[in-house]
Amino acid sequence: MSKIIVSDKSIAVPGETLATGMDILPGAGTYREGEKIVANRLGLAMVDGRTIKLLPLAGRYIPKTGDTIICKVIDVSFSGWRLDTNSAYSAMMSMKDATSEFIQRGANLTQYYDLGDYVVCKIVNVTSQKLIDVSMKGPGLRKLKGGRTIEVDPNKVPRIIGKQGSMVTMIKDATRCSITVGQNGLVWILGDPMSELLAIEAIKKIEKESHLSGLTDKIKEFLEKSIKH
Amino acid sequence: MTYKQRIDNRGFDETRPIEAKVGVIARADGSAVFKIGNTWAYAAVYGPRNLHPKFLQDPQKGILRCNYNMMPFSSSGERVRPGGSRRSKEISLVTEKALLPVLDLDEYPNSVVDVFIELPQTEAGSRCAGICAASMALADAGLDMKDLVSAVSFGRVDDKLLVDLDYSEESYADGPVADIPIAMMPNSGKVTLLQMDGEVSKEDLMNLLEKAKKVCMDIYEVQRNALREKYHEVEE
């Protein structure tokens, strides 16, 4: 006799029984304990037919191959740069992946990227020991000049971007800022100071209310109201 | 004189009033407060993050590091001298061991999850309150865990078996006392911490374990509601 106990889009707590029965499948963030499907983390339960998964609501960034992230240069070595990825692990960017320019042997690498610079880069490879290789070769990958970076919960990044970038485009249009969102939870914003602040406020609002429905309309309303004032 | 009634008029199987809240420290990755009577425990979780010195790193999995700290004037007795002591070191260690069985840190090799437990005021049962708060904070930090950990102290005073001893009961002088802190995974009933101070018979201990299981389930309910509350608050 199988039974789904948890309701769709409700919050599940570690150890909570989500369903019983062998014909229901445990998805991400859950595990099977005998007949039961049990929550393995704090998350939003998603019931999809016969599978149950948990969408994470919190947690640090875990580096994944193919992610576009915003990093800070923390060290410069002979052969490249070490970057802070806003996770437990730092990334290495080698000279050959850094720029299409020719770099002379023995050149001072700080003239390309100096300590404290922020860059948009892409993760090329992550090993089992979480050694990360990143590259700057690709569309939109660049050094960030000016503006400001804020930190958001990396689990909320998909909501900040929205479907096909709808949410971030809305904020960009309303505030006339350029915004770049890194999958690692760093967001870079450039515009005039007051609009930058408004964009930050909107992003913080999305972060806080990301698990609720009708978010796009709420943010739209918020932006319209704030701009009128 | 025998111990007939508890000093604060509680039932023998009753805990002090419990209050729990999650997300109380903004800068932490996960945080919680757990209050049981006059014992308050705040827990803050930071990480997984880079671990140094390097020799502490484990390339197989992340490590957990707990720090239990009583604040200087937290107890009713002498001022607690700031910094680590023999006692706080022991409790940090048992807290770590009590929490590790539920945690899965395989995804985070060479890194550390730091848990800081601060006790602004205490009146017995502080390690249990610390463990309850820490397990909520770890869940709030979004780490993979099989279950929460719920903890309570129980024991006997004179010939009575009771749950959640307060300070006056722990220091009862007119008869034998046993103080037994327990931490368990409430859903599977597995025990992750069991210590004892005093003496108790085997039968009494078994009876008490049964009682403690029930109480831990109640505490789990409180912890669960607190974790949910954090997200429901936003809705209103």
Tell me if B146 and A38 make a contact (CB, 8 A cut-off).
Answer: yes
Model pLDDT, residue B71: 94
Integer Cα distance of A20 and A15 in angstroms: 13
Domains of chain A with CATH codes:
3-56 (2.40.50.100), 68-144 (2.40.50.140), 148-228 (3.30.1370.10)
pLDDT at B236: 55
Q: Do A62 and B107 touch (CB under 8 A)?
A: yes
> Which of B104, B188, B231 faces A11 most closely, judged by CB atoms?
B231
For B31, nearest residue in chain A (alpha carbons):
A58
Nearest Cα of chain B lies from the Cα of A105 at a distance, in angstroms, of: 32
List CB contacts (< 8 A) between A17 and chain B. Answer: 187
Q: Please tell me if residue A33 touches chain B, with a CB cutoff of 8 Å.
A: yes
User: How many Å apart are CA A82 and CA A132, to the nearest integer?
Assistant: 10
Output the six-digit token pair for B20: 């729990």
Q: What is the pLDDT along chain A (229 residues), one digit of tens a residue?
A: 688 998 888 999 999 999 999 999 999 999 999 999 999 999 999 999 899 999 999 999 999 999 999 999 999 999 999 999 999 999 999 999 998 888 888 889 999 999 999 999 999 999 999 999 999 999 999 999 999 999 999 999 999 999 999 999 999 999 999 999 999 999 999 999 999 999 999 999 999 888 788 888 999 999 999 887 7
**Token pair recorded at residue A5:** 């106990």
**How many CA atoms lie within 13 Å of A193's alpha carbon, on the beta-carbon side?**
0
Q: Do A88 and B186 count as a contact with CB atoms less than 8 A apart? A: no
Closest Cα to residue B212, out of B155, B159, B168? Answer: B155
- Closest chain B residue to A207, measured at CA: B234
* Contact (CB, 8 A) for A18 and A4: yes
Q: Is the pLDDT of residue B1 over 60?
A: no
pLDDT value for A100: 86
Contacts of B29 in chain A (CB under 8 A): 58-60
- Write out pLDDT tens, residues B34-65: 999 999 999 999 989 999 999 999 999 999 99
Q: What is the model's pLDDT at position B174?
A: 87
Q: How far apart are CA A68 and CA A56, in angstroms?
A: 20
pLDDT of residue A3: 87
pLDDT at A228: 78
- What are the phi and psi torsion angles at B203 (to 5°)? -60, -45
Query: Which value, in Å, is the radius of gyration of the alpha carbons in chain B?
Result: 18
Residue B77 — very low, low, confident or very high, per pLDDT cuts 50/70/90?
confident
Contact call for B187 and A15, based on CB within 8 A:
yes
Residue reference for tokens 């099989």: B146
More confident residue, B77 or A18: A18
3-class DSSP assignment, residue A185 = coil
**Is the CA virtual torsion A53, A57, A58, A62 positive or negative?**
positive
The torsion angles phi and psi of B178, rounded to 5 degrees, stand at: -130, 135
What whole-number distance in Å separates Cα of residue B76 and Cα of residue B78? 7
| Whether the complex's predicted ipTM surpasses the cut of 0.95 | no
Instruction: Give the per-residue pLDDT at B235.
Output: 61
pLDDT digits (tens, 9 = 90+) for B94-139: 999 999 999 999 999 999 999 999 999 999 999 999 999 999 999 9
For the record, the structure tokens of B78 come out as: 């002498």
Phi, psi of A118 (to 5 degrees): -105, 140
What is residue B234's predicted lDDT score, i.e. its pLDDT?
66
User: Alpha helix locations (H) across chain B?
Assistant: 86-99, 126-140, 167-170, 202-235
Looking at chain B, which residue has its C-alpha nearest residue A34?
B188
Q: Is A32 in contact with A23 (CB distance < 8 Å)?
A: no
Domains of chain B from N-terminus onward: 18-235 (3.30.230.70)
> pLDDT tens across B14-39, in order?
999 999 999 999 999 999 999 999 99
Looking at chain A, which residue has its C-alpha nearest residue B112?
A88
Angle at B71 between CA B172 and CA B126, to 5 degrees: 45
